[in-house]
Every structure is written in C-alpha cells, then in structure tokens.
Amino acid sequence: MKLIDDNFEDYFEKGSPKKVSTPHEETEEEREERELIETTIERRSNKKRIFLALGVLFIMLLLFFLVYNRFFQPDKKECVMKGRIADIALKGTVFETYECKMLSYDVVAQGNVVKSEFNFSVNNDSIAEKLYKYKQTPIVVQVHYKEYKSSVPWRGETKYIATGIDTVDIKSYIDNVKDIPLPQGPQEPAEPNK
C-alpha cells in the first residue's frame, strides 16, 4: 500500500507536460564563436591581473620609499653641538636608549649669546660611558649627531642621535663666545673741545 501517489499533478505546473530536454548539438559556427568569447575573456582577465599586480607593486614601493625617507633617512647628515652635559639617563621598556640633556651656548642674531638646552638620544654604549664621565662637570664637549625627520622607538625618544663625542678646550670655547662683537647701541655724541 502506497501512502503517497507519485503520479500527482504539480500545483505550479498546471497541467503542462514535462519537457524532456535533449542536449543541443553545437554547430561549427557556434563553437568558434564560443571559443572566441572564452579566449577574449581570458585575455581581458589576464590583463586585469597584470595591471592589478603592477598597481599593487607600485603602491608598495611608494609606501616603502615614504617610510624609509621619513624614519630612516637622516634629514641632516652630520651636525655638531658644543656644551656641557647636564643629565643622562637610560630610558625605555622594550627598547632601552640613553637620553641626554646638554646645556649649550648659542650665538644668535646680532651677536647675542643665549644659553639653551639640547636633548638628544644615544644608542651606543661606548658614547654613553663617555657622556656619564662628563656629566655635571665643567668640561665642554662637542657632540656629533645626525638629525632625523622623526623618532622611532628603537633609536630613541628624540630625532637627534649622537654618533660621536669629543672634548673641547674650555678656554678656546669661552674665547670664541667672548670674541663675538656685541651690537652697538646708540652712540653719544662726543663733547666738543673748548
């Protein structure tokens, strides 16, 4: 006994007889047209892939250049600053670097001498040992450094990175600062001889 009759009429087909599809045989012209379309699509997709790959490569090279130029290329190759070392400390948790503070005397416009503070980073242990030796002493040192556009954690907190240190003869340093001509104020007229 069958519970469901397999020969029932489908509600959606409404009495239309089921069509049995026979495979369509391709003619020679249809086959050539289909192959032409398939090869054209393959060529177009290959060109798109090539252009996409070249575009991605160009963007990656541009990003690499911008990052290298911003963080790894020095803005100024070699600079020098003279002064006294006021403080040096080892800072950082993951990347430890020495951060230094130097008091320097700069000559600015009109020959004025100005005392300023210069902060720089040291990532070389031998330079840091020398700086510890000169810390809070009257010895004037000359720090050679490179200036970068930005700081990165493994290089230090500042964009100034020390590359060398020399001592400076303090007498010649003071004489150089003293020999700077100071600007002359208004002159008083000379008194006439009577």
35 belongs to a structural domain? yes
The answer to whether residues 66 and 79 belong to one domain is no
The answer to whether residues 65 and 149 belong to one domain is no
C-alpha–C-alpha distance, residues 194 and 189, integer Å: 15
Q: Could you read off the pLDDT of 18-28 as tens digits, one per residue?
A: 555 667 787 88
Query: Which pLDDT score is estimated for 62?
Result: 92
- Note whether 80 and 165 are within 8 A (CB): no
The answer to whether residues 99 and 163 belong to one domain is yes
Counting the structural domains of the chain, the total is: 2
C-alpha–C-alpha distance, residues 102 and 121, integer Å: 11
Query: Which pLDDT score is estimated for 184?
Result: 46
Which of 30-34, 119-123, 130-134 is the least confident region?
30-34
106 belongs to a structural domain? yes
- Note whether 58 and 130 are within 8 A (CB): no
C-alpha–C-alpha distance, residues 30 and 37, integer Å: 11
110 belongs to a structural domain? yes
Alpha carbon 132 to its chain centroid, in Å, reads 30
The answer to whether residues 58 and 100 belong to one domain is no
C-alpha–C-alpha distance, residues 136 and 87, integer Å: 7
Query: Which pLDDT score is estimated for 182?
Result: 44
Is residue 179 over pLDDT 80?
no
Q: Could you read off the pLDDT of 84-109 as tens digits, one per residue?
A: 888 888 888 788 889 999 887 665 55
Query: Which pLDDT score is estimated for 33?
Result: 82
What does the pLDDT average to over 164-177? 71
Q: What mean pLDDT, rounded, does the chain reach?
A: 76
The answer to whether residues 66 and 86 belong to one domain is no
The answer to whether residues 97 and 151 belong to one domain is yes
Residue 44: domain span? 26-71
The answer to whether residues 67 and 105 belong to one domain is no
4 belongs to a structural domain? no
Among the listed residues 132, 125, 121, the one whose alpha carbon sits nearest the alpha carbon of residue 155 = 121
